[in-house]
Amino acid sequence: MSSSDRSTGHGRLLTGVAWAVLLLGLWLWGRGITDGSGIGSAPTTGDVAAVGRPLGVPLPPAHEPIKGATPRSVEIPSIGIRAPVVSRGLDEDGAITPPSFDTPQTVGWYGSGTEPGAKGPALFVGHVDTETKPAVFYGLSAARPGARVEVTRTDGTIAEFTIDDVQVFTRERFNAQKAYGPRKDGRAELRLITCGGTYDRAAHTYTANVVVSAYLTGEKSAEGTSGKAGGKAAAGSGA
């Protein structure tokens, strides 16, 4: 790839995810959120589109939050996503620094926020594509409620989440509270965010963002031995 091609690819990656990452960073910065309180890219029309909960797909009760731990990898078997996770922070402008454009198959986790499994929403971001090929969250918009998300953590456990909501927010109607805030108080949640809609070549950015929400429904050993999966449900915080 020539230097000019590389620059173009970098620009597409940066503008493709940076606006939502910027809003996320500024929202977190403004609210002082550090402890959890408080993009397949299918064309989509309307201000907000959501797949909702398919009829006949019951969702399990929420598991009580567990001790937080740093994520190592994330997997969504139903759509073939399996990727390493790296911690990211805020830059001098208050924006989340996304994964490097040199590592488009890596997911970024806001490391100063909620650890996956702990109370509150843990925030993951990833690129949808590069100038030449799909990136880590290319298939994210194909996720559906009821699907499993597994986050392998540095303490040797896997936090198991169940997707309960998939939404696409246009740039004009992006709602930071709905995208990044907790959906139900008391739950351990996960938010996965990437670009969506269509790529606007004139503006060098995407027209929307895909936001997948999931909540903790179990825990197991990374070696395959069952832990607390299917254990005590969080009071009043089921799906």
pLDDT tens for 124-139 read 988 888 888 899 999 9
List domains and CATH numbers for the chain.
Answer: 3-221 (2.40.260.10)
User: Given a cut of 80, is residue 82 above it in pLDDT?
Assistant: yes
The torsion region of residue 53 among left (phi > 0), alpha (psi -120 to 50) and beta comes to: beta
Question: Does 228 score more than 80 pLDDT?
Answer: no
Q: How would you label 92-127 residue by residue, b for 16+ Cβ within 10 Å and e otherwise? A: eeebbbbbebeebbbbbbbbebbbbbbbbbbbbbbb
| Cα–Cα dist 112/188, whole Å | 16
Pick the residue with more confidence: 148 or 89?
148
With cut-offs at 50, 70 and 90, classify the pLDDT of residue 28: low
Regarding pTM above 0.75, the answer is: yes
Which residue did the predictor score with more confidence, 83 or 236? 83
| Residue 98 pLDDT | 75
The reported pLDDT for the residue numbered 221 is 95
